[in-house]
Structure 1
Amino acid sequence: MPTPPLPRIACFHGGGSKSTIYQVQCAHLSKLLENDFQLIFFDGPFTRDAGPGILPAFRGQEPYKSWFTKDDTGTELGDGSGYDTTGRDGVERVWKMMEEEDRQQAAQGRAVGPWVAAMGFSQGTRMVGGLLLDQQRRMETAWEGEKVRAKLRFGVLCNGSGAPMESEIANHINFENEVVKIPTVHVHGTKDIVLPLSRHQYDTFYDSESRILYEIDYHHAMPWVKEEVEQLASLIRQTYKENL
């Protein structure tokens, strides 16, 4: 009997980074999870300067990418818009990127496992929150009869800050004081300059009944110490098994 394809985790880099850099930053974690999950890395649509911690290690790997841009007044577009004129180029665009990954694999005759989670670092955590919140809202409201594009079971947010990316549904239904109830694992670096913002993100946008906090003695970086990467891998496996 052929081996079933592994479940997949959609991965989102930080601001001023890119998918190939995030792959390097997650190399040890990917190796530990290689028998459990397939990690798929995506690029943000906007070009910007290098983000925190990218230089000098990744010098010369331009263009660096972002998931957000600003309008003419310098105000961030919190729904990820600005890439095209559809008005649905933020969270909706990311769902479509995941669907396109499915189509590409199918065109090559490859079986793919289900999307079961999203993981992000720094700005990429806002993509994780945006996908989870969009899925949660669609499941609760069956908005305009649209399907829930995937059934993400959990999220992993590493050294994050900021609110979840808003999605199209928020323009049509008023969701006040809503938090992400889908299970999440949060990694915070106790020496990270954005730690206060990470704690605000954790306390403000994620339900206390379904979130797990893992603190490490790091600056603004993905875990790299062997024991700490192993602990994160264990938390990911555990969270998945508890939410099958």
Structure 2
Amino acid sequence: MRGWFNWVRLLLLFFAAQPEDMETPKKPRILCLHGHGSNAAIHKRELDRWPDYVLDKMDLVFINGPFSIDDGISDYEQYTWFTCDKEKKIYLNFDESIAYIEARMIEFGPIDGVLGFSEGALVTASLPGIQEQGLGLTKVQKIKHVIIISGGKFGGNTFPCPELAETAFSSPINIPSLHIFGENDYARKYAPELVEAYVDPLVMLHNGVHEVPKLDEEGVIIMFEFLKKIDAIV
């Protein structure tokens, strides 16, 4: 099996390599949204688990969430993308969060796609629909693709829906999307309703938990299929 994987890896690297007489494709610039209580630096380390020959195909931009939080335990900066009123079961500050994300997209743009993990993935999944409905992100170019790691769907069976995102999934989202979940990931139960909201989604299931996973042989193949879809490789 290991020999087969090495053969596939070499094959992928062969096709991903750019001959001198071939134009090198532009790296898609992807805005990366971390999980709840995390930060940009931690999220970057999480993504660094992926092989260089995958990461080198993307221009990843890491930002902190707009709202600082403190659990009284952790010794690092913590941020969130929105706050929650648990009694009323509603999300607060979501409009501010979308405006903040748009400002960062302008600052670091042009941004081609968005990648999110956990809470960041919950937000990421809603952004194309919010933009398509003209409710937010109107000052930036259209989001072309998304990578959603351990995400969920606003307005689904589990997560309340912020007012701004009420129509985000009113029609199928027709852009390339990659959905990553772990076999022992508590977010896996959210996968079906989220994946079904997208047209022709790619799905990667790893054998881990709620985390940004390392890429096994099948994960590498799926990742390269996605990179081809977004023209990151030729």
Q: TM-score under structure 2 normalisation?
A: 0.72
2:45 corresponds to which of 24, 29, 38: 24
2:204 corresponds to which of 214, 221, 226: 214
1:155 corresponds to which of 124, 146, 153: 146
2:123 corresponds to which of 124, 127, 134: 127
Match of 1:89 in 2: 96
1:214–1:5 CA distance, 2 compared to 1 (3 A): closer
* Residues 74-122 of structure 1: CA deviation (Å, up to 9, x unaligned): 53326x43xxxxxx412222011111224xxxxxxxxxxx422111111
8 Å contact kept, 1:25–1:222: yes
Shift of the alpha carbon at 1:220? 0.8
1:31–1:178 CA distance, 2 compared to 1 (3 A): same
Structure 1 residue runs of 5 or longer lacking an equivalent are 82-87, 103-113
8 Å contact kept, 1:136–1:182: no
Match of 1:180 in 2: 173
Matched, 1:44 2:60: no
Alignment of 1:47-62 (within 5 A): 47-48=68-69, 60=75, 62=76
Match of 1:76 in 2: 90
* Residues 100-151 of structure 1: CA deviation (Å, up to 9, x unaligned): 224xxxxxxxxxxx4221111111112212321122223xxxx79x955123
Match of 2:213 in 1: 223
Match of 2:81 in 1: 67
1:18–1:28 CA distance, 2 compared to 1 (3 A): same
Q: Tell me the number of residue pairs that the alignment of Structure 1 and Structure 2 aligns.
A: 204
Match of 1:193 in 2: 186
> What is the one-letter code of the residue matched to 1:25?
E
Matched residue SS, 2:91: coil
8 Å contact kept, 2:29–2:58: yes
> Structure 1 residues 10-19 or 148-157, which shifts more?
148-157
1:23 and 1:240 mapped to 2: Cα distance? 21
1:65 and 1:201 mapped to 2: Cα distance? 24
Match of 2:14 in 1: none
1:210 and 1:152 mapped to 2: Cα distance? 16
Q: What value does the CA root-mean-square deviation take over the aligned residues?
A: 3.4
Q: Taking every aligned residue pair, what percent have the same amino acid on both sides?
A: 21
8 Å contact kept, 2:36–2:80: yes
